[in-house]
Each structure stands twice: as structure tokens, then as C-alpha cells.
């Protein structure tokens, strides 16, 4: 107990220094060019702290003086902005059927994109690692201006990830168990590497650039083939005891209900993950023309187009799914009392506004009044691929730590 | 967004000072008499910080020098302990059928207890406030040594509470809406008052004196007539945007299942709250001799005694309830990845070890491997009434803030 307390205290003071750097840099990213006094006002940090932090950021080449403020007498205040050529960041989204790498400048603008396909069966660690290294090398060649250093590469890998150890503990899609991924990648990639999973990548992307920015407590609901809830509590990612917090997809929505790929029954994911939604479609209208056999994304796109066009089957599926999703999101609202719930990932993006509207209605039916009143529900405002953006942000955070 | 960020930053530096005081005082409570170097080692704080904090605590009369350490040469180190006569704290548990007040010394030892009954229908704010003031006055007279100041009174009030505003936003048991409770109490009680609900009181009790002490992420599962999950994340209570986090009792266990008193269906509480357990008993064995009509506590006691004695009906009810509870606790484990889950409140205490064992088994069936591996599940080790202890701790925290 004493040891845990001690760890906590040392962590706390290191974390607050890192949090100050994050806070200042997020503000420079949002408002730059911006003066130090304006940064102090916007972040609530003291001018002395802002001076210390911006000094560090300047020495590391992350931030530059981009101009001076007009002032009525006295010394004009320097305006700070991210230094676009201070470094480049690479974010990698390792998915089941492709490896997607993006190269960003320090304003997190995309400079280049490379996507290499993975054929079915191309799932051995060595092959996936080679493909990843190739994508990183090609995106680097294609996008980075000469002389600009790559500050780091963030890799988002599906499943349970031991972030400190750099190990893919378990990945259901490739049946990986305990693969020392960071070590394998380090043999091929000459940059600092950061590993985590796509759920945490999208959460970090929302914290830095999306709907969770400046919010104390936010939940990022990822709706894709799998589903999960990234938790941003107290302005930082809540990881839990073993970096596996957020497994909302495998919480129970219907005790004893549908069987789930995790081996249990009635999980949220078995209803509102893409395969669950498609199963609902086959229950509502067996043999529907909306069904694209073997094509999950195509079927969801057909459902989205259908519900927008007033197709009754698509409308009914939307209604059922939004009701289930609303009940499950209401659970997050009741339990965590967040300021904002962000719907993210490809199913949310594909279905868009009609899904948002129906989910808001359902959450209104299921959540308790007080937590409901303080919970905004929005679609992710992050443009581009939030997973590679978030992965690149791991590298930015790493450069600040 | 800037404003929220600013608030966050100022909060952060104030919170870290308060957290340091909490940390030091928790250690003094646990280990006192204890030297400053030992406190620094146990808390991980610097010796300078410990000196500052203990100086403050000493000046406020909370901590005293209780002796000196033998030392091999050099100046002997002072040993610090709580000063039992430095102040008294009162904790009040306002329940549906009684007002229970306890007076504590600064080591949180109970000095006196007063319980005043509330008859059915005695539920108007004025009457409940008068009864509370009477209990506080009587427990003060009975227990506090002459000259010892009462540092504060913590009041735990069921339902949704606006802690900052001192308002009972909604209390289902008495059908209160927006009652300005703290203002009403302040007319009768001449001490500093702190208001929150029983869920947060038991969570704070576990953080200071129970199974969550020294843990980073803990969940306190309250099993009574109502059920809830107090969240202690990052070593502090997670309150959420409007102090209503933890409404786990009204998360969905069976979509479209049993009707719940909240007006929704399939809530966790409708299965594992005491009335839900009794409903399961009537489903398993209608007309069972274990049923004590109109006596919730008596029926749960009969079930506990029956399952311990091998009664097949009681065993079956335990099995069904533990399965439902296990699925719902597994949801907390999957979502939050805590180090420890504490089963608290009267149903957990009454049923004890057989419930714990059955719940551990069920959580093992429902939780995912990685979060399961890091989650210990225990019965609350807090002795006495955790609600009045936690309420008194609100007053102690208030004295430190």
C-alpha cells in the first residue's frame, strides 16, 4: 500500500509537468500564433509556468516565434506557433486488411499517406511487421521535407496491448498471443516507436483535436466491426490497471442474449458492432436487398443510404440499432456522468446524422435525468483517419514526456 | 474551451496540494506515530513537501508530536500522530427510516452514536432537518470531550445531490425535488456542513480506511435496497460533470427486462438490489418460508442463513443472483479495468463470504482475461457504519481543503 502510494505521488508530480506541456501545446496548436500572456490566460497556468514550458518547447524545436504582437509601447510580445519543420510524426493504423501510414508535420497536417493491403492469411507477425516497416519507409520518403527529423512513429494495433512492454497481448483478428511487436518493429524502423490500440488512438485524437478538447470527462464511443469506449477522465486517457479500460463492447446489454465472438452472450458488440447490425438486418428482413454478402462496409453503406432515402427496412434497422446503442450509451452516461459522448469510427461516420439523432432520442429514454442533462452527444469532428492521427499523437506525446 | 482548460489547470494545482495533504494524513492515520522521513518514504513526496504539509497540519491542531525516534547520534526524529483532541467530526447517515449520527475523534474512532427513527410519512424536509439537528446536538453532547471543537458535520443524503450548492436535487425515497438542504440544516446546526450521497460516502470511507486505500483505480459496489458503484479513479473520487457518476444500478443488465422503480426496464438494480433479490426468491420458490413479507432485511438474512446451512432454495437464489451480479460487476471490470472491486453495504455484509465466492466465480465467467487478471474482488473491510464514517470523512477533507 505504501509502495502504491509512493508510486502515485511521484507519478502525480511528473504527470502534472507533462500535463502542463500538453496543455500549452494543445493551445498553441489551436490558437497559434499566440502570445505567452494569452497562453497563460487560456490555460489558467501562471505566466512563469508558461514561460518555462514554452522555453522548453522552443529549445526542442517544436515551437517557433512566428511574429510579434502590436503593442502600445513596451516590448512587443512574441507570438508562438508550432514549427512545421521542427519535426515530422508518423501514425500507423494496423487493421485487419491493410496497414495505413500517415506522415504529419507538427501542426498535425497530413503530408503523405501510404496504404498497403494485407491479403487474407497475411497475418503472421513477421509479415505484418515487414509491411508496416515498408509503409513507414515509403510515407517518410514521400512526405518529409529534407532535413526534417522524424520525432517518432505511433502504431495502433487492434486488441489488448501492453503499452509499456510493447507487446500485443492478444489480437483476436490475427489470433496473436504475446507478440513482442515493438521489438520486432524496432529491427526495421529507425525511429522512436510508440504502441497502443486504435481505441486509445481515437480517444487521444479527440482529446487533442476533437470534441474532447478542453473537456474534463469525455467518452469516445468507437463504432466499427468491434466497438469500444475510450475514456478521457480528468482531461487524460483513463487506461486502468493494465491498459485495458474501455472494453465496453464486451459489457452485457442482454443477459443471456446473442452469442458474441468473445465467447460470451449478450455483449454490446454483438448488437451494435457492424456484424451485429447486419445480423439485425437479416432478422428484420431476411433476404433484404440491402444485404451485401461478405461486404460489411457495403452493407452498412446501403443501410445508411436506405435510411436517408426513407427505405422502411433500413429505417426499422436504424430504429432497433439506435435503441440498443442508446441503452448502452445511457449506461456510460449513468455510470460516468461525462460532459460529452463522441460517436466515432467508420459506422458512425457512414451513418452520420440520422444515427446521431436516433441515438440522442434513445439515450434520452434510457439515461437518468441529471447525468443526461450534462451529457452532450456528438459525431466526431475529427477529419481524416482518427486512428493514424491519434497514433501520431502518441509520438507527439512521447516527444513531450 | 479555453475557460474549461483554465479551470482545469487552476484546479489541478489546487487539487495536487489538497491531494498531498490527504496523502500525508492518510499515512499518519494508518502508520502514526510516524517520522517525517518515514512519511516521505511511504508517500513518495519529497521531504520538503512533507515538512510543509505536516507543519500546516500541526498548526491546525490535527497532528501532534507523539514522541521521538531513537537515533544513533544526530537529532532524534519527531514521531507524528493524529491529535485525538485536536477536533471532533460528525457523520450523519440520513436513511429512509432513521437518522443516524456518529461522533468521531480525529483518529476516526467512534465516540458516540445516536439513531433517531423516522416513522413512515415523516418525510417533509423541515421534519427531517429537525430530526437531523437533534441527532447532531445529542451526539455532540454525548461524545465530545469538553473544549474539543467540532470541525464539521458531513451529511449523506440518498439520491442526486448538488454538492457545491448543498441541494438535494432528487430523492426518490421521500419524493424530494430541489430541496436546499444545506441551507435548512445551517439554521439549526452551528458547525461547517458538507453534503453528499451515501454512495460517495462509502467510496470515501474505502479510500481513506478500506480496500481502496493506496490503490489507483477502485470500484466500490454498494449492495443495499438500491445499488450503485462508487468510482475511485487515480486515487480520488470520480464525480463526473454533475456529481452523479456511479449510477450503475440503472445501467442495463437485460435490455427490455424487469421493470425498475426508475421507470425503465432491465436495470441492474431490479435484479440485485434487495427487492430484486426477493423477487428472484418468489420466482424460484413461490411461497418459500424464507420470505418475510414486508421485511427486506429479514428476508435477506434468512437467505444468507439458508445458503450457509445448505438450504436448496437459498442456494439457488444465491446462484442466480451471483450470476447476475457477476455479469454486472464484469461490466465494471471490462470498462474500467480497476485494481480492486469492493462489495459494500448491508446486503454484501449480510450474505458475506458465500456471496463473495459465488460472485468471484461469475465475474470469472463474464470478464475478459486481461482486466480480470488485475481485478481483486473483496468484501469491504470497513467496520461499523461506512456511510457515517464516510460522511465524517467529508468533514475531515473539508478541514484540509
Q: Which fold has domain B88-202+386-400?
A: Nucleotidyltransferase; domain 5 (3.30.420)
A322 φ/ψ angles, rounded to the nearest 5 degrees:
-65, -35
Q: Do A335 and B244 touch (CB under 8 A)?
A: no
Q: Per-residue pLDDT for B93 more than 90?
A: yes
CATH 1.20.1250.20 is the classification of domain B213-379: no
- Which residues of chain A are within 8 Å of residue B215 when distances are taken between CB atoms? 4
- Specify the pLDDT at position B233: 95
Q: What is the DSSP letter of B191?
A: S
- Which residues of chain B are within 8 Å of residue A169 when distances are taken between CB atoms? 370
Question: Distance (Å, rounded) from C-alpha A157 to C-alpha A170?
Answer: 10
Q: How far is A241 from chain B (nearest CA, A)?
A: 6
Closest Cβ–Cβ partner in A8, A23, A335 for B245:
A335
> Which alpha helices (H) appear in A224-293, and where do they start and end?
269-272, 274-284
More confident residue, B100 or A8: B100
Closest Cβ–Cβ partner in B9, B44, B255 for A7:
B44
Please give the distance of CA A194 from its chain centroid, rounded to a whole number: 14
Q: Do A242 and B9 touch (CB under 8 A)?
A: no
Q: Per-residue pLDDT for B130 more than 70?
A: yes
Closest Cβ–Cβ partner in B9, B169, B252 for A44:
B9
Question: Distance (Å, rounded) from C-alpha A49 to C-alpha A40?
Answer: 8
Q: Do B255 and A327 touch (CB under 8 A)?
A: yes
List, for residues A349-379, the tens digit of each pLDDT value.
Answer: 999 999 999 999 999 999 999 999 999 999 9
Q: How far is B189 from chain A (nearest CA, A)?
A: 29
- Which residues of chain B are within 8 Å of residue A254 when distances are taken between CB atoms? 254-256
Q: Per-residue pLDDT for B58 more than 90?
A: yes
Buried b or exposed e, range A378-397, using 16+ CB within 10 angstroms: bbbebeebbbbbbbbbbbbb
Number of other residues whose CB lies within 10 A of the CB of residue B200: 27
Choose among B316, B377, B314: nearest CA to B350. Answer: B314
- Check if the beta carbon of residue B319 is closer than 8 Å to that of residue B285: no
Q: Do A240 and B234 touch (CB under 8 A)?
A: no
Question: Distance (Å, rounded) from C-alpha A25 to C-alpha B373?
Answer: 36
Identify any residues that bridge with A88 across adjacent strands, giving them in sequence order: A105, A150
DSSP sequence for B321-378: HHHHHHHHHHHHHHHH--SEEEEESHHHHHHHHHHHHHHHHHHHHHS-HHHHHT-EEE
CB proximity list for A379: less than 8 A, separation 6 or greater = A342, A343, A344, A348, A349, A352, A353, A356
CB pairs under 8 A between A and B: 227
CB proximity list for B286: less than 8 A, separation 6 or greater = none
| Nearest Cα residue in chain A from B327 | A252
Q: Do B337 and A244 touch (CB under 8 A)?
A: yes
Closest Cβ–Cβ partner in A10, A229, A262 for B368:
A262
Question: Distance (Å, rounded) from C-alpha A284 to C-alpha A315?
Answer: 11
Top residue of B19, B243, B255, B328 to mutate, by most chain A CBs within 10 Å, is: B255
Q: Which residues of chain A fall below pLDDT 70?
A: 1-13, 71-73
- Check if the beta carbon of residue B80 is closer than 8 Å to that of residue B74: no
Question: Distance (Å, rounded) from C-alpha B236 to C-alpha B279?
Answer: 36
- Specify the pLDDT at position A279: 97
- Specify the pLDDT at position A13: 65
| Nearest Cα residue in chain B from A234 | B8
Q: Taking the CA atoms of chain A, what radius of gyration do you get in angstroms?
A: 22
Q: At what angle do helices A2-31 and B36-43 cross, to 10 degrees?
A: 60
Q: What angle do CA B224, B229, B235 make, to 5 degrees?
A: 130
Top residue of A200, A249, A336 to mutate, by most chain B CBs within 10 Å, is: A336
To which residue does cell 474539543 refer?
B148
- Which residues of chain B are within 8 Å of residue A12 when distances are taken between CB atoms? 16, 19
Provide the grid cell at A64: 517557433
- Check if the beta carbon of residue B154 is closer than 8 Å to that of residue B394: yes
Q: Do B245 and A371 touch (CB under 8 A)?
A: yes
Q: How far is B142 from chain A (nearest CA, A)?
A: 36
Q: How far is B382 from chain A (nearest CA, A)?
A: 16
Question: Distance (Å, rounded) from C-alpha A88 to C-alpha A111?
Answer: 9
Q: Do A334 and B264 touch (CB under 8 A)?
A: no
- Check if the beta carbon of residue A33 is closer than 8 Å to that of residue A54: no
Question: Distance (Å, rounded) from C-alpha A399 to C-alpha A266?
Answer: 42
Provide the grid cell at B43: 508517500
- Which residues of chain A are within 8 Å of residue B23 when distances are taken between CB atoms? 5, 8-9
Closest Cβ–Cβ partner in B245, B255, B365 for A253:
B255
Q: Do B214 and A1 touch (CB under 8 A)?
A: yes
Q: Which helix (H) or strand (E) holds B65?
A: strand B63-68
B21 φ/ψ angles, rounded to the nearest 5 degrees:
-65, -45
Q: Do A23 and B16 touch (CB under 8 A)?
A: no
Provide the grid cell at A192: 522512436
Topology match between the domains A2-82 and A88-202+386-400: no
Closest Cβ–Cβ partner in B262, B327, B337 for A242:
B337
- Which residues of chain B are within 8 Å of residue A15 when distances are taken between CB atoms? none
Residue B175, SS3 per DSSP: coil
Question: Distance (Å, rounded) from C-alpha B167 to C-alpha B159?
Answer: 11
Closest Cβ–Cβ partner in B241, B335, B339 for A339:
B241
Q: Do A374 and B241 touch (CB under 8 A)?
A: yes
Please state, for a pLDDT cut of 90, what percent of chain B lies above it: 78
- Which residues of chain B are within 8 Å of residue A229 when distances are taken between CB atoms? 335
Please state, for a pLDDT cut of 70, what percent of chain B lies above it: 96
Question: Distance (Å, rounded) from C-alpha B100 to C-alpha B91?
Answer: 8
- Specify the pLDDT at position A10: 53
Top residue of B337, B373, B378 to mutate, by most chain A CBs within 10 Å, is: B337
Question: Distance (Å, rounded) from C-alpha A324 to C-alpha B324?
Answer: 19
To which residue does cell 433500413 refer?
A314
Q: How far is A358 from chain B (nearest CA, A)?
A: 17
Q: Do B262 and A368 touch (CB under 8 A)?
A: yes
Pairing of strands A376-379, B63-68: unpaired
- Which residues of chain B are within 8 Å of residue A167 when distances are taken between CB atoms? none
- Which residues of chain A are within 8 Å of residue B45 when distances are taken between CB atoms? 9
Q: How far is B198 from chain A (nearest CA, A)?
A: 16
Q: Do A247 and B20 touch (CB under 8 A)?
A: no
- Check if the beta carbon of residue A144 is closer than 8 Å to that of residue A103: yes
Q: Do A371 and B229 touch (CB under 8 A)?
A: no
Provide the grid cell at B106: 480525529
- Check if the beta carbon of residue B105 is closer than 8 Å to that of residue B111: yes
List, for residues B327-379, the tens digit of each pLDDT value.
Answer: 999 999 999 999 999 999 999 999 999 999 999 999 999 999 999 999 999 99
Provide the grid cell at A122: 497475411
Q: Do A330 and B252 touch (CB under 8 A)?
A: yes
Number of residues written out for chain A: 401
**Domain positions in chain B:** 2-82, 88-202+386-400, 213-379
- Check if the beta carbon of residue A130 is closer than 8 Å to that of residue A115: no
Question: Distance (Å, rounded) from C-alpha B182 to C-alpha B127?
Answer: 14
> Is B59 buried (19+), middle (13-18) or exposed (0-12) by CB count in 10 A?
exposed
Q: Averaged over B189-215, what is the pLDDT?
A: 95
Q: How far is B259 from chain A (nearest CA, A)?
A: 13
Question: Distance (Å, rounded) from C-alpha B282 to C-alpha A334?
Answer: 29
- Check if the beta carbon of residue B378 is closer than 8 Å to that of residue B341: yes
More confident residue, B285 or B71: B285
pTM recorded for the entire structure:
0.91
List, for residues B20-36, the tens digit of each pLDDT value.
Answer: 898 899 899 988 899 99
Q: How far is A273 from chain B (nearest CA, A)?
A: 16
Identify any residues that bridge with A101 across adjacent strands, giving them in sequence order: A92, A114
Given this structure, which CATH class describes domain A2-82? mainly alpha
Q: Do A252 and B257 touch (CB under 8 A)?
A: no
Question: Distance (Å, rounded) from C-alpha B134 to C-alpha B189?
Answer: 9
- Check if the beta carbon of residue A88 is closer than 8 Å to that of residue A152: no
Question: Distance (Å, rounded) from C-alpha B20 to C-alpha A206?
Answer: 31
Question: Distance (Å, rounded) from C-alpha A113 to C-alpha A121?
Answer: 24
Amino acid at each position: 500500500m505504501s509502495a502504491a502510494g509512493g508510486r502515485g505521488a511521484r507519478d502525480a508530480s511528473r504527470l502534472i509537468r507533462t500535463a502542463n506541456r500538453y496543455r500549452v501545446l494543445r493551445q498553441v496548436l489551436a490558437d497559434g500564433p499566440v502570445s505567452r500572456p494569452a497562453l497563460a490566460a487560456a490555460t489558467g497556468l501562471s505566466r512563469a509556468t508558461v514561460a518555462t514550458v514554452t522555453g522548453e518547447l522552443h529549445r526542442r524545436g517544436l515551437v517557433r516565434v512566428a511574429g510579434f504582437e502590436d503593442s502600445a509601447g513596451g516590448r512587443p510580445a512574441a507570438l508562438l506557433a508550432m514549427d512545421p519543420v521542427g519535426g515530422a510524426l508518423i501514425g500507423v493504423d494496423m487493421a485487419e486488411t491493410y496497414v495505413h501510414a500517415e506522415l504529419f508535420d507538427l501542426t498535425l497536417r497530413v503530408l503523405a499517406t501510404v496504404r498497403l493491403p494485407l491479403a487474407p492469411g497475411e497475418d503472421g507477425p513477421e509479415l505484418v511487421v515487414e509491411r508496416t516497416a515498408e509503409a513507414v519507409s515509403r510515407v517518410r520518403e514521400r512526405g518529409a521535407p529534407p532535413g526534417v527529423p522524424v520525432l517518432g512513429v505511433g502504431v495502433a494495433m487492434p486488441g489488448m496491448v501492453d503499452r509499456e512492454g510493447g507487446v500485443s497481448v492478444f489480437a483476436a483478428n490475427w489470433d496473436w498471443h504475446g507478440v513482442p511487436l515493438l521489438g520486432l518493429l524496432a529491427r526495421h524502423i529507425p525511429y522512436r516507436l510508440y504502441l497502443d490500440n486504435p481505441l486509445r488512438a481515437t480517444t487521444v485524437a479527440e482529446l487533442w483535436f476533437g470534441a474532447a478538447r478542453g473537456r474534463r470527462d469525455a467518452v469516445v464511443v468507437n463504432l466499427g466491426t468491434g466497438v469500444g469506449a475510450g475514456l478521457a477522465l480528468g482531461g487524460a486517457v483513463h487506461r486502468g490497471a493494465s491498459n485495458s479500460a474501455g472494453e465496453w463492447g464486451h459489457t452485457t446489454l442482454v443477459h443471456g442474449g446473442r452469442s458474441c465472438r468473445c465467447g460470451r452472450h449478450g455483449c454490446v458488440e454483438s448488437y451494435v458492432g457492424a456484424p451485429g447490425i447486419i445480423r439485425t438486418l437479416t432478422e428484420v428482413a431476411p433476404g433484404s436487398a440491402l444485404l451485401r454478402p461478405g461486404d460489411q462496409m457495403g452493407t452498412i453503406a446501403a443501410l445508411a443510404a436506405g435510411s436517408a432515402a426513407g427505405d422502411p427496412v433500413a429505417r426499422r434497422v436504424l430504429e432497433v440499432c439506435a435503441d440498443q446503442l442508446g441503452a448502452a450509451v445511457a449506461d456510460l452516461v449513468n455510470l460516468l456522468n461525462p460532459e460529452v459522448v463522441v460517436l466515432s469510427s467508420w459506422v458512425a461516420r457512414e451513418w452520420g446524422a440520422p444515427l446521431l439523432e436516433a441515438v440522442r432520442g434513445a439515450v434520452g429514454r434510457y439515461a437518468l435525468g441529471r447525468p443526461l442533462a450534462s451529457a452532450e452527444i456528438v459525431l466526431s469532428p475529427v477529419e481524416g483517419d482518427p486512428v493514424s492521427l491519434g497514433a501520431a499523437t502518441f509520438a507527439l506525446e512521447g516527444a513531450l514526456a
